[in-house]
Amino acid sequence: MIVTDFILIRHGQTKENIEGRLQGHFDGSLDETGIRQAHAVAARLAGEHAAALYSSDLKRAYKTAEIIARNLHLPVRALRELREWHLGELENRPCRELWREYPEIMDCFLHDSDDVAVPGGESFSKFNQRIADCLESLTEKHAGERIILVAHGGVMRAGFRYIVGRTGCNLLPLLSNASYSRFCKRDARWQLCTWNDVSHLQSIGVRESVTF
Protein backbone atom coordinates (compact mmCIF):
# COMPACT_ATOMS: atom_id res chain seq x y z
CA MET A 1 0.00 0.00 0.00
CA ILE A 2 1.27 3.46 -0.94
CA VAL A 3 0.44 6.09 1.70
CA THR A 4 0.99 9.75 0.86
CA ASP A 5 0.71 12.11 3.84
CA PHE A 6 -0.35 15.75 3.69
CA ILE A 7 0.13 18.01 6.71
CA LEU A 8 -1.81 21.23 6.18
CA ILE A 9 -1.09 24.40 8.13
CA ARG A 10 -3.23 27.50 7.95
CA HIS A 11 -1.28 30.76 7.99
CA GLY A 12 -0.95 32.78 11.18
CA GLN A 13 -3.21 35.66 12.11
CA THR A 14 -3.30 38.91 10.10
CA LYS A 15 -4.65 42.36 10.83
CA GLU A 16 -7.36 41.69 8.25
CA ASN A 17 -8.43 38.55 10.14
CA ILE A 18 -8.97 40.59 13.30
CA GLU A 19 -10.78 43.34 11.42
CA GLY A 20 -13.10 40.80 9.79
CA ARG A 21 -12.01 41.57 6.24
CA LEU A 22 -12.21 39.08 3.42
CA GLN A 23 -8.69 38.60 2.07
CA GLY A 24 -8.69 36.31 -0.96
CA HIS A 25 -5.67 37.31 -3.04
CA PHE A 26 -5.24 40.55 -1.06
CA ASP A 27 -1.65 40.24 0.10
CA GLY A 28 -1.76 41.06 3.81
CA SER A 29 1.00 40.21 6.29
CA LEU A 30 1.12 38.38 9.61
CA ASP A 31 0.59 40.55 12.67
CA GLU A 32 2.56 40.10 15.91
CA THR A 33 0.23 37.36 17.13
CA GLY A 34 0.42 35.63 13.76
CA ILE A 35 4.21 35.49 13.98
CA ARG A 36 4.01 33.96 17.46
CA GLN A 37 1.50 31.42 16.16
CA ALA A 38 3.82 30.54 13.28
CA HIS A 39 6.70 29.91 15.69
CA ALA A 40 4.42 27.70 17.81
CA VAL A 41 3.35 25.55 14.89
CA ALA A 42 6.98 25.42 13.70
CA ALA A 43 7.98 23.99 17.09
CA ARG A 44 5.23 21.39 16.78
CA LEU A 45 6.49 20.34 13.35
CA ALA A 46 10.14 20.14 14.40
CA GLY A 47 10.00 16.36 14.77
CA GLU A 48 8.21 15.70 11.49
CA HIS A 49 10.20 14.15 8.67
CA ALA A 50 8.83 15.67 5.48
CA ALA A 51 10.02 15.35 1.91
CA ALA A 52 8.94 18.86 0.94
CA LEU A 53 7.40 22.08 2.23
CA TYR A 54 5.03 23.92 -0.10
CA SER A 55 3.33 27.26 0.46
CA SER A 56 0.94 29.65 -1.18
CA ASP A 57 2.95 32.55 -2.56
CA LEU A 58 0.81 35.10 -0.69
CA LYS A 59 2.79 36.80 2.10
CA ARG A 60 0.74 35.62 5.08
CA ALA A 61 1.20 31.98 4.13
CA TYR A 62 4.76 32.28 2.82
CA LYS A 63 6.00 34.01 5.99
CA THR A 64 4.40 31.26 8.09
CA ALA A 65 6.16 28.69 5.90
CA GLU A 66 9.52 30.46 6.20
CA ILE A 67 9.32 30.25 10.00
CA ILE A 68 8.44 26.54 9.77
CA ALA A 69 11.26 25.95 7.29
CA ARG A 70 13.93 27.04 9.79
CA ASN A 71 13.01 24.16 12.10
CA LEU A 72 12.73 21.58 9.34
CA HIS A 73 15.79 22.66 7.33
CA LEU A 74 13.71 22.48 4.16
CA PRO A 75 13.37 25.09 1.42
CA VAL A 76 9.95 26.67 0.92
CA ARG A 77 8.51 25.89 -2.50
CA ALA A 78 6.05 28.64 -3.48
CA LEU A 79 3.01 27.27 -5.28
CA ARG A 80 0.56 29.70 -6.83
CA GLU A 81 -2.07 26.95 -7.03
CA LEU A 82 -2.30 27.06 -3.20
CA ARG A 83 -3.52 30.66 -3.21
CA GLU A 84 -6.79 31.50 -1.50
CA TRP A 85 -10.01 31.75 -3.51
CA HIS A 86 -9.67 34.79 -5.78
CA LEU A 87 -12.58 37.04 -4.80
CA GLY A 88 -12.08 40.00 -7.12
CA GLU A 89 -14.17 42.99 -6.07
CA LEU A 90 -14.90 41.48 -2.64
CA GLU A 91 -11.30 41.45 -1.45
CA ASN A 92 -10.15 43.53 1.53
CA ARG A 93 -13.74 44.47 2.39
CA PRO A 94 -15.47 43.90 5.76
CA CYS A 95 -17.38 40.64 5.94
CA ARG A 96 -20.36 42.35 7.61
CA GLU A 97 -20.86 44.40 4.43
CA LEU A 98 -20.34 41.45 2.14
CA TRP A 99 -22.95 39.32 3.91
CA ARG A 100 -25.49 42.03 3.02
CA GLU A 101 -24.34 42.50 -0.57
CA TYR A 102 -23.22 39.00 -1.57
CA PRO A 103 -24.93 36.47 0.74
CA GLU A 104 -24.71 33.58 -1.75
CA ILE A 105 -20.97 34.00 -2.20
CA MET A 106 -20.33 34.38 1.52
CA ASP A 107 -22.43 31.31 2.22
CA CYS A 108 -19.96 29.28 0.15
CA PHE A 109 -17.37 29.77 2.89
CA LEU A 110 -19.58 27.87 5.31
CA HIS A 111 -21.61 25.44 3.20
CA ASP A 112 -21.40 23.32 0.11
CA SER A 113 -23.26 25.19 -2.56
CA ASP A 114 -24.13 25.37 -6.22
CA ASP A 115 -21.63 27.23 -8.35
CA VAL A 116 -21.39 30.96 -7.64
CA ALA A 117 -19.82 33.57 -9.90
CA VAL A 118 -17.61 36.15 -8.19
CA PRO A 119 -17.41 39.64 -9.76
CA GLY A 120 -13.87 40.07 -11.03
CA GLY A 121 -12.74 36.83 -9.40
CA GLU A 122 -12.82 33.04 -9.54
CA SER A 123 -16.00 30.96 -9.59
CA PHE A 124 -16.66 28.55 -6.73
CA SER A 125 -16.37 25.52 -9.02
CA LYS A 126 -13.10 26.66 -10.62
CA PHE A 127 -11.60 27.32 -7.20
CA ASN A 128 -12.53 23.87 -5.92
CA GLN A 129 -11.21 22.24 -9.10
CA ARG A 130 -7.92 24.15 -8.79
CA ILE A 131 -7.36 22.77 -5.30
CA ALA A 132 -8.41 19.22 -6.25
CA ASP A 133 -6.02 19.26 -9.22
CA CYS A 134 -3.22 20.59 -7.01
CA LEU A 135 -3.69 17.82 -4.44
CA GLU A 136 -3.72 15.11 -7.09
CA SER A 137 -0.64 16.55 -8.79
CA LEU A 138 1.27 16.62 -5.50
CA THR A 139 0.16 13.07 -4.74
CA GLU A 140 1.67 11.87 -8.01
CA LYS A 141 4.88 13.83 -7.42
CA HIS A 142 5.32 12.67 -3.81
CA ALA A 143 3.76 9.20 -3.81
CA GLY A 144 4.60 7.42 -0.55
CA GLU A 145 6.05 10.55 1.06
CA ARG A 146 4.97 13.15 3.63
CA ILE A 147 4.68 16.77 2.57
CA ILE A 148 3.64 19.96 4.36
CA LEU A 149 1.37 22.56 2.78
CA VAL A 150 0.96 26.06 4.21
CA ALA A 151 -2.14 27.70 2.84
CA HIS A 152 -5.45 29.39 3.63
CA GLY A 153 -8.77 28.56 5.23
CA GLY A 154 -10.64 28.45 1.94
CA VAL A 155 -7.99 26.22 0.37
CA MET A 156 -8.18 23.75 3.23
CA ARG A 157 -11.98 23.66 3.16
CA ALA A 158 -11.82 23.02 -0.59
CA GLY A 159 -9.49 20.11 0.18
CA PHE A 160 -11.96 18.89 2.80
CA ARG A 161 -14.78 18.96 0.24
CA TYR A 162 -12.68 17.00 -2.21
CA ILE A 163 -11.42 14.21 0.01
CA VAL A 164 -14.54 13.77 2.14
CA GLY A 165 -16.98 14.28 -0.72
CA ARG A 166 -19.29 16.69 1.09
CA THR A 167 -22.33 17.71 -0.94
CA GLY A 168 -25.61 19.45 -0.18
CA CYS A 169 -26.09 22.16 2.45
CA ASN A 170 -24.14 20.72 5.36
CA LEU A 171 -22.10 23.07 7.48
CA LEU A 172 -18.41 22.96 6.66
CA PRO A 173 -15.92 23.17 9.54
CA LEU A 174 -14.16 26.44 10.24
CA LEU A 175 -10.42 26.68 10.71
CA SER A 176 -8.21 28.47 13.21
CA ASN A 177 -5.13 30.46 12.31
CA ALA A 178 -1.94 28.36 12.53
CA SER A 179 -3.98 25.16 12.91
CA TYR A 180 -2.65 21.69 12.10
CA SER A 181 -4.65 19.31 9.90
CA ARG A 182 -3.72 16.12 8.09
CA PHE A 183 -5.01 14.18 5.09
CA CYS A 184 -3.56 11.05 3.60
CA LYS A 185 -4.10 9.05 0.43
CA ARG A 186 -3.89 5.27 0.80
CA ASP A 187 -3.47 3.94 -2.72
CA ALA A 188 -6.54 5.45 -4.44
CA ARG A 189 -8.54 6.42 -1.34
CA TRP A 190 -8.36 9.68 0.60
CA GLN A 191 -8.69 9.81 4.38
CA LEU A 192 -9.13 12.72 6.79
CA CYS A 193 -6.83 12.09 9.77
CA THR A 194 -6.73 15.33 11.82
CA TRP A 195 -8.64 18.60 11.55
CA ASN A 196 -7.98 22.00 13.11
CA ASP A 197 -5.71 20.89 15.95
CA VAL A 198 -4.50 23.98 17.84
CA SER A 199 -3.07 22.33 20.96
CA HIS A 200 0.36 23.80 20.14
CA LEU A 201 -0.98 27.35 20.59
CA GLN A 202 -1.66 26.81 24.30
CA SER A 203 2.06 27.01 25.01
CA ILE A 204 2.22 30.66 23.91
CA GLY A 205 -0.95 31.78 25.65
CA VAL A 206 -2.67 32.76 22.41
CA ARG A 207 -6.36 32.05 22.21
CA GLU A 208 -7.63 30.09 19.24
CA SER A 209 -8.84 32.46 16.50
CA VAL A 210 -11.40 31.11 14.08
CA THR A 211 -11.69 33.49 11.13
CA PHE A 212 -12.38 33.51 7.41
User: Known catalytic residues?
Assistant: 11, 84
| Phi, psi dihedrals of residue 171, rounded to the nearest 5° | -70, 130
Rg (CA), the chain: 16
User: 176: which strand partners?
Assistant: 210
**DSSP per residue, 120-149:** TS--HHHHHHHHHHHHHHHHHHTTT-EEEE
Q: How far apart are CA 60 and CA 150, in angstroms?
A: 10
Listed residue (29, 113, 42, 115) closest to 74, CA to CA:
42
